[in-house]
Structure 1
Amino acid sequence: MSSPSPSLVFDHVRLEWPDGTVALDGVSGALGRGRIGLVGRNGAGKSTLLRLAAGHITPTSGSVSASGEVAMLPQRLAADPRRPVSSLLGVEKALTALRAIESGDVAPHHFDAVGDDWDVETRAHALLAEAGVASDALNRTVGELSGGETMLAALVGLRARAADITLLDEPTNDLDREARARVSELVQAWPGTLVVVSHDVGLLELMDATAELYGHTLSVVSGPYSVWRAHRDAEQEAAVRAERDAAQSLRRERRQRIESYDKLATRARVAHKAQVEKRVPKIIAGGRANAAQVSAGRLSSEMKGKEDAARAALNEASARVRDDDVVRIDLPDPGNAPGRRILTLGDGEREWIVTGRERVALVGRNGTGKTTLLQSIVHGTEAAVHARASVEHVGYLPQRLDGLDDAASVLDTVCAAAPDVPVAAVRDRLARFLVRGDAVARPLGSLSGGERFRVALARLLLADPPPQLLVLDEPTNNLDLDTVDQVVSALQAYRGAVLVVSHDDAFLARLGLDLLLELEDGRLVERAS
């Protein structure tokens, strides 16, 4: 279990981006040792918190302290496709120096770079083998590997580094079943403290503790994701009951106040009538009137105090009830006729015709060419497997979002996909993706992985005219579980065709697939969906 001794301490951490946007506001908390899952909604600041812990950025105020060396695997690992694979393994400098020496360059700095690591190339090949990546990848770049191969190579490199504290940001994105199993094995035997940001429930179940970043508050529960989820749900049930009870108490105090005022008013009318009709001596009637006023004042003060206390209790109870906003996706109708040919897929032996509103999934191991096949559909290029769209409007959500302009604003990015839609209408539609107000002016480069993905999804799904075929490459990457639910609902209701690549079996099972194809050794094999 996780030790109470902290490995990372956040003390009133505040971070503002250069445009004034507040990313984190007064976050305090401590993460212990062992394996810790860090969860939270997209945009909560999880990746930002990891970058602060790694020292990649500096807080505007407050402090972050770590009990040792910190290493980090970023979410956008493949952002630079020219990066050498050897750098992922942590051997780039030593390997470059060794090869320079072997080629005859005996400059002293090469020997300094190698040090005692003369078997660096053998060790690098061993790391690639552990990652399940071909050994010739050592001489390649990140852009030449699949997303899964890139992630696994980086993971084994970090594990070999054995830092005191390692931070992983969405490490199972893009990974097939076999690769995810390998990540699980690595995680269970990881040296030192491991903090994992993930929406992969299977991975989060391997954690010793679960931390949540919610509303700029960092809280920790001992146990894996399922324990945290049960704890959170129990807390919310109790909070909802407390809010309901407090609301009933407030209504009761209001009702009693009104009833008491009515009684006092009735007594005052009776006393006034008796005085007017001179049924009692004037001095007695006056005394009664004064006593009634004093009593009314005392009761009014008492009733107001009780009502104010009940209202304060309601406000306090309501503050403990989460008000989670969710993405609301309402896809336009592209007008596909049920029998219209949309897409043709074939491998030279068999051919499959996708029509109208069918949902098709393409699965297979990393590196088999699934992404290449999708790109051939979108760009009309050649691929080992035949694929051809028969419609004009194809929407494509790539696995890597490298094509987005980091300097462009959210609003400009989405407006470019719908140039004839008024800006006000685009703003309204972006609000459904939880991008509101000044957030639409933020540059893409300042967004978290989940926020960036939501913008890419919005650009795709809000395009005008709407796509007749959606081509989605790992669409659940970086999305929190609530947003995945919304994506599933939207795709279920979508009246166009869908071709999706995913390693998320639970996601595919919910889509109501018409066809499941596996790409294997250059062939398409139909599987039971």
Structure 2
Amino acid sequence: MFSVVVDHVSFAWPDGTTALDELDAAFPAGRTGLIGRNGSGKSTLLKVIAGELTPSSGSVSVTGEIGYLPQNVPLAGRTVSDLLEISATRAALHAIEGGDVAERHFAVVGDDWDVEERALAELDRLGLGHVGLDRTVGTLSGGESVMVALAAQLLKRPDVLLLDEPTNNLDLDARRRLYAAVAAWRGVLLVVSHDRALLDLVDQVAELRDGAVRVYGGDFSAYEEQVAAEQEAAERMVRAAEGDVRRQQRELIEARTRIDRSARQGRKAFENKKVPKIAANGLKRKAQVTAGKQRALHLEKLREARERLAEAEPAVRDDAEIRVELPATEVPAGRTVLTLPLPPPPAAPGHEREIVAGVLETLVIRGPERIALLGPNGAGKTTLLRRIVEHGAHVPVRHLPQRLEVLDDGLSVVDNVRAAAPTATVNEVRARLARFLFRGDRADQVVGTLSGGERFRAALAALLSAEPAPQLLLLDEPTNNLDMSSVAQLAQALAAYRGALVVASHDLPFLESIGITRWLWQDREKGLSASRLTVGD
């Protein structure tokens, strides 16, 4: 029995870009991890299943109620209560408690008399006990807003839960809580993610690749083993087919050589009068017939060998990868890049501010330092990066924000990059975008239609094309939405970057791979200090 069935679904964006084309898929009860390269259509498929997008053709059937956690949670002007979708019920409850016994209030409350208690309990279970129901969502960190949105879905107790990159922006503690919630989920779960730890909690992996969905039993580790075995077998078949093609080509050449040699010998015998003319002509015709048959036989064998090779090659994965090339800039070791006075931590009500040893009063960055900025959700990491931009550095600085607000959704990818690099020609911009896999018409796609991973690649292309070339890079959760191959390419480029770098991230393996030289810890109460985190924590 399948709980979600996608039947010949097609979807195209208003600019004509096709996202899904006659897609078929079926997801059973249990936990399914939906994976695929950036731009393969995973988020679009989730939106179609959730009813957020209407397919141009085909249909989707879902058994039961749907809960959907999008990749980007809307924040503006909403309270935590609004995001939890309990504001109307709370207002009715408060009215009844205040003595207003109008029938409409009881209709709104229904059986949800304990909605506030359940909401607070769910928030506490997800590590958000400090977040009040009336707090404005815009004051939450990216990770806190994700967890509040998750709490909203868990409160609804849907039959089918759709999660799109739920670990984006989450600190280590929040990730562990989300993993626990996923492991305890007993309904149908379909999660899009590049988080290995999360994908190792699923019952099966569905890969969206080349416009089709293929399901593998087991978690992500089992998927990798199956794909590795398939690739080994596919590569053997290709090698065998290539060997067969070479052999058939060699035999064709040898056959032609024999035929040509025989023809030369026949002509020579006739010229030397060793064979009568009538006999020579008969031998010539016979040789031509034989040569034609042999040539046709070898050509047919070569054609069949090439067909077998053409059939074998598509099974071997040869995915295009981004090529991140950072500006050729260098900061001398002794040069001061940034001097930023830091505000003192807030004092507790009725108490003097506590002076904590090790807390920085000024952030100073010198030379090509590579700083990792750590801390729990809501500690102020994003705020600190914004303060650096507003304060200004002693060198050109570029900031890649968490929500990628640097892009204009109404412009194409090309036009966004040209805005950052006004002196670059269109051909130069297109050449740069090709390294980020925006080739041909893909570079003309409107940014508002891009997937999360594509949007990040476009933002990174614009950032790295900016004039003048940045000598201080500020990156806020740069591995969000990127597939594993793209993360590896980004890490390789950052490891070779010779400018100064500040990266706010919860992805410790990524941070360790880019050669961090200083680890800083941002605390919402104490401020900024040297981190005691060690490799392996």
Q: TM-score range by the shorter chain?
A: over 0.9
* Equivalent-residue separation in structure 2 for 1:136 and 1:103 (angstroms): 25
How far is 1:90 from its partner? 3.1
User: What stretches of structure 2 of length at least 5 have no aligned partner?
Assistant: 345-358
Matched, 1:210 2:168: no
Q: 1:362 aligns with which of 363, 367, 373?
A: 373
CA pair 245-374 structure 1, distance change in 2 beyond 3 A: same
Count of aligned positions: 516
Q: Deviations over 1:212-259 (max 9, x none)?
A: 111112111101111111211222222222222211211110110010
| Equivalent residue, structure 1, for 2:489 | 486
Decide which moves more: 337-346 or 158-167.
337-346
Equivalent-residue separation in structure 2 for 1:360 and 1:136 (angstroms): 29
Measure how far apart 1:80 and its partner are.
3.4
1:314 and 1:138 map into 2 onto residues whose CA distance is 62
1:266 equivalent among 256, 261, 265 = 261
Q: Which amino acid aligns with 1:508?
A: L
Q: Are the counterparts in 1 of residues 119 and 155 from structure 2 also a CA contact under 8 Å?
A: no
SS of structure 1 residue aligned to 2:26: strand
Q: Is the 8 A contact 1:127 1:153 kept in 2?
A: no
**Structure 1 counterpart of 2:387:** 376
What residue is the counterpart of 2:452 in the other structure?
A: 449
Give, in whole Å, the separation in 1 of the partners of 2:187 and 2:506.
Answer: 29
Asked whether 1:416 is paired with 2:414, we answer no
After superposition, residues 247-396 of structure 1 pair within 5 angstroms as 247-344=242-339, 349-350=359-360, 351=362, 353-380=364-391, 389-396=392-399
Deviates more, 1:444-453 or 1:64-73: 64-73
Residues 210 and 225 in structure 1, CA contact (< 8 A), matched pair in contact too: yes
Question: Among 473, 476, 480, which residue is 1:477 paired with?
Answer: 480
- C-alpha separation between the residues in 2 aligned to 1:402 and 1:93? 32
* 2:430 aligned to which of 427, 430, 437: 427
Instruction: Give the AA of the match of 1:69.
Output: E
Q: CA deviation at 1:182?
A: 0.2
Which residue matches 1:171?
Answer: 166
Deviation at 1:122, TM superposition (A): 2.0
Distance 1:196 1:131 in 2: 18
What displacement does 1:172 show?
0.6
Q: Does 1:162 align with 2:157?
A: yes
Please point out which of 460, 465, 468 is paired with 1:462: 465
- Structure-1 residue corresponding to 2:527: 523
Q: Is the 8 A contact 1:54 1:70 kept in 2?
A: yes
Greater alpha carbon shift after TM alignment, 145-154 vs 305-314: 145-154
CA displacement, residues 187-210 of structure 1 (integer Å, 9 cap, x when unaligned): 001131101100111111111111
1-structure distance, mates of 2:305, 2:374: 57
Cα 1:345–1:205 change in 2 (3 A) is: farther
User: 1:152 aligned to 147, 154, 167, which one?
Assistant: 147
> Among 440, 443, 447, which residue is 1:440 paired with?
443
Larger deviation: 192-201 or 240-249?
240-249
> Quick check: 1:81–1:142 contact (8 Å CA) kept in 2?
yes
Residue 21 of structure 1 aligns with which residue?
17
Cα distance in 2, alignment partners of residues 121 and 393 from structure 1: 49
SS of the aligned residue for 1:138 comes to coil
Aligned mate of 2:40, from 38, 44, 51: 44
| 1:479-518 equivalences in 2 (<5 Å) | 479-518=482-521
Counterpart in the other structure of 2:5: 9
After TM superposition, give the deviation of residue 340 of structure 1 in Å: 0.7
Tell me the SS of whatever aligns to 1:137.
Answer: coil
Query: What one-letter code is carried by the residue in structure 1 that aligns with 2:72?
Result: R
TM-score relative to the length of structure 1: 0.93
> Which residue does 1:246 correspond to in 2?
241
Aligned to 1:115: 110
Contact 1:341 1:354 in 2 (8 A): yes
| CA displacement 1:395-452 (0-9 Å, x = unmatched) | 1111123464322222222222112222221121111111122222222211111111
Distance 1:289 1:449 in 2: 71
Which residue number corresponds to residue 351 of structure 2?
Answer: none
Structure 2: distance between partners of 1:516 and 1:135: 26
Deviation at 1:103, TM superposition (A): 5.2
Q: Name the SS of the counterpart of 1:7 in structure 2.
A: strand
Cα shift at 1:489: 1.1
Using the alignment, how far apart are the partners of 1:110 and 1:462 within structure 2? 57
**Preserved CA contact (<8 Å) 1:47 1:448:** yes
What displacement does 1:109 show?
A: 3.4
Deviation at 1:10, TM superposition (A): 2.3
Q: Summarize deviations over 1:54-96 as a string: whole Å, max 9, x none.
A: 121122222222233222110011x332233223323233123
Contact 1:362 1:516 in 2 (8 A): yes
Which 10-residue stretch deviates more, 104-113 or 137-146? 104-113
What is the CA–CA distance in structure 1 between the aligned matches of 2:97 and 2:408, rounded to whole Å?
42
Write out per-residue CA displacement over residues 332-355 of structure 1, whole angstroms, 9 at most, x where no aligned residue: 123422211012366665455321
Question: What is the identity, as a one-letter code, of the residue corresponding to 1:369?
Answer: G
CA RMSD of aligned residues (A): 1.9
For 1:427 and 1:229, how far apart are their aligned partners in 2?
34
Write the deviation string for residues 107-137 of structure 1: whole angstroms up to 9, x where unpaired.
Answer: 5433322112122222222222122214553
Deviation at 1:100, TM superposition (A): 4.2
Q: Deviations over 1:32-58 (max 9, x none)?
A: 221111111111110011111112112
Question: 1:106: how far off?
Answer: 5.2
Aligned with residue 194 of structure 2, among 196, 199, 211: 199
Where 2:501 maps in the other structure, the secondary structure is: strand
Greater shift, 175-184 or 113-122, is seen at: 113-122
Answer yes or no: is 1:180 the counterpart of 2:175: yes
What is the SS of the residue equivalent to 2:132? helix
Are the counterparts in 2 of residues 341 and 390 from structure 1 also a CA contact under 8 Å? no
C-alpha distance in structure 1 between counterparts of 2:236 and 2:332, whole Å:
49
Distance 1:117 1:341 in 2: 59
Are 1:92 and 2:103 an aligned pair? Answer: no
CA distance in 2, matches of 1:28, 1:20: 21
Greater alpha carbon shift after TM alignment, 62-71 vs 326-335: 62-71
Counterpart selection for 2:408 from 399, 405, 408: 405
Q: Distance in 2 between matches of 1:56 and 1:226?
A: 32
